[in-house]
Amino acid sequence: MAIYTGKNLVVKHGANTLTHVRSASVTPSIDTVEITAAADTAKSYVTTTQGFEATVQLLEDDTTSLTDSELAVGTSAVLKIQPEGTSVGAVEYTGTAIVTSYEVSAPYDGVVAISVSFLGQTALSSTVQ
């Protein structure tokens, strides 16, 4: 795979393709449980459940009310982050996620942006389209 930019980034939440997306980040994780015994000289762990967190930043569009409907806190749907766009051979990160919060940023010398936080409800899959 070649190095690429996020210029063609596409983000979907359920049936909705988000517009005016500026950036997206996704962080897969796995929980662990310590299984160190009393006589051990080093800590030991086993893995348990997988999850992920994601953040998407998009420009506010006053012709839609995304945070009242598609991206309302508590909304759960399949989240797809496609950094290279939708072409064949492009990478795609997918998992069911719930909107946990959003933040509206309104700088006096810039555009109004919304940063939406997602919490994965499934493991994150990384595939090539």
From first to last of its 129 residues, the chain has per-residue pLDDT tens of 578 788 899 999 998 888 889 999 999 999 999 999 999 999 999 999 999 999 999 998 777 666 667 788 999 999 999 999 888 888 999 999 999 999 999 889 988 899 999 999 999 999 887
Domain-embedded: residue 39: no
Whether residue 24 is contained in a domain is answered as yes
Query: What DSSP assignment string belongs to 77-118?
Result: EEEEEETT-SSTT-EEEEEEEEEEEEEEE--TTS--EEEEEE
pLDDT in the model for residue 128: 87
Backbone angles phi, psi at 9, to 5 degrees: -55, 130
What is the three-class DSSP state of 66?
helix
Q: Is 81 within the bounds of a domain? A: yes
What's the domain range around 57?
10-29+44-128
Q: Is residue 54 part of a domain?
A: yes
Phi (first) and psi of residue 2, to 5 degrees:
-85, 160
pTM for this prediction: 0.86
Q: Which helix (H) or strand (E) holds 8?
A: none
- The number of domains in the chain is 1
**Is 101 inside any structural domain?**
yes
Nearest to 21 by CA among 8, 32, 33, 34: 8
Taking the CB of residue 68, how many other CB atoms lie within 10 A of it?
Answer: 8
pLDDT given at position 37: 95
Sequence-separated (6 or more) residues with CB below 8 Å from residue 73 = 67, 99, 100, 101, 102
